[in-house]
Structure 1
Amino acid sequence: MKAFWRRKPKQTHTAVALGSHPMHPMVVPFPIAFLITALATDLAFLFTADDFWARLSLWLLGAGTFMGVVAGLIGAAELLIIRSIRRRAAAWSHFVVAVMLLSVAFLNWFMRLSDPVAALYPLGMALSFLGLLLVSAAGWLGGKLVFEERVGVKEA
C-alpha cells in the first residue's frame, strides 16, 4: 500500500478545450516567450544603442500583454468553472501572480508608447526584470498545478 503522501492526486479535467486538449497550456507559451524576449531586446539596446531594439521591445511587450490577457481569460474561466481548481491554493497563487505580471507588462508597454527609447532606462528595464521574475513565479505555480496536482491532465 502506498503512503498517503506518495499517492497521485486525482486528476482534474479541463473546461476550456479544443477537442480534448486544454487551451490554457496552448496559449501561455506566447506571452512567456514575448515577455522574456522583451528583456533580451532591452539588453540588446543597452549594449548596441540601436533604436531598433527599443522598438522591438515595445512590440514584444504589446504582444505579450495581449496574449497574456487571452491566456488569463482562459485560465480565469477554468478557475471559475471548475470547483476542484478553486479549492487549490496554487491555483489562486498562480492567478494573483499572473494578474501582477499582466499589470507590470501593460505598464511597461504603455509608458513606452510615446518614446520607446526614452522610457527604456531605467524604469522600463526594471519593469522588464520584474516581468521576468513574475513570469518565472507564474510558470512555477502553473507547473505545480499540472505536474503535482494533475490539473488539466487526462490519463491514458
Structure 2
Amino acid sequence: MEDLSRQHLQESRPEGSPSAVALGSHPIHPMLVPFPIAFLITATASDIGFLLTLDSFWARVSLWLLGGGAAMGLVAGIVGTAELLIIGSIRRRAAAWSHSVVAVMLLAVAFFNWFMRLSDPVSTIYPAGILLSALGLLLVSAAGWLGGKLVFEERVGVKEA
C-alpha cells in the first residue's frame, strides 16, 4: 500500500527544474533570500518599536535594516532573474512570473522606504514609513509564498534523485 501511494505521489509531482546559478549543486537564490526577508520584516518591527518608545535608536535600526534588505534583495533578485531567463522550464511557470513581479514591487517599496528616510530617519517613520513597511511586509509574505510554491509544489531548483 505504501509503495502505491509513493508511486502516485511521484507520478503526480511535476518534473523539477534544475538551477543554473549554483554553488556546487546548491542553488544560490534560496541562499540569499532569507537575508532580505529577515531584514525587511524586522524593519517593520523596529518601526513599531520606535512608535512605542519614541527612541531614535529604533529609527536608525529601521534605516539600516531597510538599506540592507533592499541591497540584499537586489542581489537575490539578480540571481533569481538569471534563473528565470536561463531556464526555459522556469519561464513557462506562471508562479515564477508572479513571484518575479511581486519581488520587483517589494524591491521598489523597500528602496523608496529606505531612500525617503536617509535625510531624517525619525520624522519619516510616521505615517509614510510605517505604511511602506507594512506594504513591504505584505509583499515579502506574498513573494515568499510564491517562492515556496515554486520550490515545494513545482520543484524549481530541486535536483531529482
Fold equivalence (TM over 0.5)? yes
Alignment identity in percent? Answer: 74
Q: Does 1:87 align with 2:92?
A: yes
Q: Does 1:40 align with 2:23?
A: no
Correspondences of 1:25-104 after superposition (within 5 Å)? 25-104=30-109
Aligned to 1:7: 12
Q: List runs of 5+ in structure 1 lacking aligned partners.
A: none
CA distance in 2: counterparts of 1:151 and 1:106, whole angstroms: 28
AA at the equivalent of 1:128: S
Aligned to 2:141: 136
CA distance in 2: counterparts of 1:48 and 1:109, whole angstroms: 21
Q: Could you state the TM-score of these two structures normalised by the residue count of structure 1?
A: 0.96
CA distance in 1: counterparts of 2:86 and 2:45, whole angstroms: 37
CA distance in 2: counterparts of 1:155 and 1:12, whole angstroms: 9
Aligned-residue offset at 1:154: 1.2
The two structures, once aligned, show a CA RMSD in angstroms of 1.5
Aligned residues: 156
